[in-house]
Amino acid sequence: MPKFYITTAIHYVNDDPHIGHMYENIVADVIARHRRRMGDDVWFLTGTDEHGQKIERSAAKEKILPIELADRVVKTHHDLWKRLNISHDDFIRTTESRHRVGVYELIGRIQERNPGDIYLGEHSGWYCQSEETFIPENQVKDGLDQEGHKVEQTTERNYFFKLSAYSDKLLKHYRDNQSFIYPQTRMNEVVSFVEQGLRDLSISRTTVQWGIPFPGNPDHVIYVWMDALTNYISALGFGSADDKAYEKYWPANVHLVGKDIVRFHAVYWPAFLMAAGIELPKQVAGHGWWLRDNQKISKSLGNVVRPYNIIDDFGADPFRYFLVREMVFGQDQNYSDEAFLGRYNADLANDLGNTLSRAIKMSSDYFGGKTPPTPCDDNDLLLAAEELIPEYLREMDSFAFQRALDVAWRLLVAINGYIVSREPWKKFKETGADESLSRIIWNVLESLRIVWTMVAPVMPTVSREALTRIGADPDLITKDALRWGVLPNNRPVRVTDPIFPRIDTVAYIGDPKKMSESQTPPPVETTQAAPPDLAKISIDQFMGVDLRVAEIRAAEKVEKSKKLMKLTVFTGDSERTIVAGIATKYTPEELVGRKVVIVANLQPAKLMGVESNGMVLAASIDGEPSLLSVDAGVPAGTKVK
């Protein structure tokens, strides 16, 4: 039996998972489920990265121990993966002793085979705390790295890994293994990064306590990538007395990670493994980012999305479907609840759900609540299915899940066309439930069974329900289910409620409680109707807010944002920039010369990379901003109270 070992990145445990993490685990789960039914012996690993400065700091802020924080947050990871029906076989925490054993074994093997590859040295350079890595000089501009994170000059004495010695070997490996990094764009990036020459990598810290002590020198802890990446083998028992799983599953078939950490997986990790004389993983696949208003969703940007309401209200499967269907693997995609609702009604309630109900109802009405008595192996739908199944399999095997689902939908279109052209209701009226009608309805149900089998790795729970309703065997989850001629005859079908009840999108969106938790700083600081129980504030508290009249001197839309407008406003003695979420309502021409009321003493905040110094007041009517107006004669700078 071919073995298939797939891993996700291990997610930082300093915060609850967000939609980016969810996507990664869902895609890995889709692959794992698909490979299992194709007959592979699958091992699917996910887990949490629990050491390092971020976690140490988050815990210190809460005045708890890092392990207490990790224990608490890891629970939300477990709960969420359960809720999303993630079928991982193992979950590794880097604070487990099996992980430490694996890390020590890896370092030991490197020291033994290539004694000079780990050495104590001094390093100065631009250090990015957020990425926990040194950033090359040419990637630093105005104190920021290419991702916009702050960097600072740091000198450290610590252990280094001689990464610089591996450039040529890595380049050769990429050349000889063209599919080592997927997609090709990521391969190109990595190749050009390595071609520029690699610097040695710092792998220990003395300034951080929260980590695995460096072997032989406990003043240092092993830092970040040497620790984290090793999870892929430590979880398999590498270095322990029982390393059967390691012997069986390593090398991994796929490390599935976001594009931001492809480099660490495709450069550092293979170099460590080469140094230790361990076989390299077969592939590193980099997915794109979920964005909000075109910005990466991440904790550090404060714009996380956790669509718990969507999962609660619709179940895990429609949400899984949406994430997989909406994003082209490898590319970025904006998230919105509205887009989810649109796809839910169109693709699921309408296309998939209605066709199912319609087909089952006909079978039930014409054939006494059962599947038709006669199968059929010569018809248009069979031809369509036989053409589409191999195409579907090709797409599934090349990370094109979106296109694989599209193939299923093409079969759905063919089914609907077939129903319309055969007019079974007319036939039933004219000649009753004869053999020809039996074949027609059986064809419809059989091809629907194939559609639901195609979507099964993405929607594992609902597809079982649908297959049961059709009269198919929901436990037939092998590759045999992906061929024509499987649906049994004379099996009870179930006519019941729609499998995806339609949702009133307007009502759903109109209910603010329903929308996903997003900590995006509100782009326009609008005054919502105050809830009656809003806490009262004192006059002193109110006077602490410096409200002023300001004149808009210039306005331009913020690039790549639908809502944001960058305003230059004059406050009587100086000009400042304010970013306001008013671009859906106002054009720059309408704004210039207008007087508005601003909060002048607000802490600066960055919105889409632009620093905003204050807030423009506006009322909000169903999310649509309406600026407060000021009489023309009031000079800019006048206090408002």
Catalog residues that contact ligand MSP under the rule CB under 6 A: 9-12, 20-21, 23-24, 49, 228-229, 231, 257-258, 260-261, 289-290, 296-298
Nearer to ligand MSP, 297 or 408 (CB): 297
Q: What distance in Å separates the CA atoms of residue 88 and residue 32, rounded to the nearest whole number?
A: 8
Q: Which residues pair with 155 in a beta bridge?
A: 124
Q: Which two tokens stand for residue 409?
A: 């939908």
Q: How far is the CB of 166 from ligand MSP (least distance, A)?
A: 18
Nearer to ligand MSP, 257 or 466 (CB): 257
Collapse the DSSP code of 79 into the 3-class scheme (helix H, G, I; strand E, B; otherwise coil) and give the result. helix
Nearer to ligand MSP, 221 or 440 (CB): 221
Q: Which residues pair with 258 in a beta bridge?
A: 287
Nearer to ligand MSP, 289 or 392 (CB): 289
Residue from 212, 107, 209, 120 nearest 157 by CA: 120
Q: What distance in Å separates the CA atoms of residue 427 and residue 176, rounded to the nearest whole number?
A: 61
Q: How far is the CB of 14 from ligand MSP (least distance, A)?
A: 8
Q: How far is the CB of 333 from ligand MSP (least distance, A)?
A: 9
Amino acid, single-letter form, for residue 160? F
Inter-residue contact 505 to 341 (CB < 8 Å): yes
Nearer to ligand MSP, 295 or 613 (CB): 295
Question: What is the DSSP-derived secondary structure letter of residue 388?
Answer: H
Nearer to ligand MSP, 17 or 625 (CB): 17
Residue from 484, 482, 479, 396 nearest 1 by CA: 479
- Report which residue's Cβ sits closest to ligand MSP: 258
Q: Which two tokens stand for residue 546?
A: 């410096």
The side-by-side arrangement of strands in the sheet containing 290-292 is 295-296, 290-292, 333-334
Q: How far is the CB of 130 from ligand MSP (least distance, A)?
A: 10
Q: How far is the CB of 424 from ligand MSP (least distance, A)?
A: 45
Nearer to ligand MSP, 40 or 131 (CB): 131
Nearer to ligand MSP, 126 or 225 (CB): 225
Q: How far is the CB of 565 from ligand MSP (least distance, A)?
A: 25
The side-by-side arrangement of strands in the sheet containing 41-49 is 90-93, 41-49, 3-12, 254-258, 284-287, 181-182
Nearer to ligand MSP, 25 or 364 (CB): 25
Nearer to ligand MSP, 305 or 360 (CB): 305
Taken as a whole, the chain contains a residue count of 641
Collapse the DSSP code of 505 into the 3-class scheme (helix H, G, I; strand E, B; otherwise coil) and give the result. helix
Q: What distance in Å separates the CA atoms of residue 160 and residue 207, rounded to the nearest whole number?
A: 15
Q: What distance in Å separates the CA atoms of residue 145 and residue 136, rounded to the nearest whole number?
A: 9
Q: How far is the CB of 423 from ligand MSP (least distance, A)?
A: 47
Nearer to ligand MSP, 15 or 347 (CB): 15
Amino acid, single-letter form, for residue 275? A
Nearer to ligand MSP, 258 or 281 (CB): 258
Residue from 232, 224, 214, 20 nearest 130 by CA: 224
Q: How far is the CB of 330 from ligand MSP (least distance, A)?
A: 11
Q: How far is the CB of 335 from ligand MSP (least distance, A)?
A: 9
Inter-residue contact 391 to 407 (CB < 8 Å): yes
Measured CA angle at 606 (ends 602, 607), to 5 deg: 110
Nearer to ligand MSP, 295 or 364 (CB): 295
Farthest-apart Cα atoms in the chain, separation: 89
Q: How far is the CB of 505 from ligand MSP (least distance, A)?
A: 25
Provide the angle, in degrees to the nearest 10, between the axes of the packed helices 460-470 and 316-326.
Answer: 110
Q: How far is the CB of 286 from ligand MSP (least distance, A)?
A: 8
Q: How far is the CB of 12 from ligand MSP (least distance, A)?
A: 4
Inter-residue contact 9 to 261 (CB < 8 Å): yes
Inter-residue contact 92 to 99 (CB < 8 Å): yes
Report the 10 Å Cβ neighbour count for 512. Answer: 8
Q: What distance in Å separates the CA atoms of residue 153 and residue 163, rounded to the nearest whole number?
A: 21
Q: How far is the CB of 387 from ligand MSP (least distance, A)?
A: 34
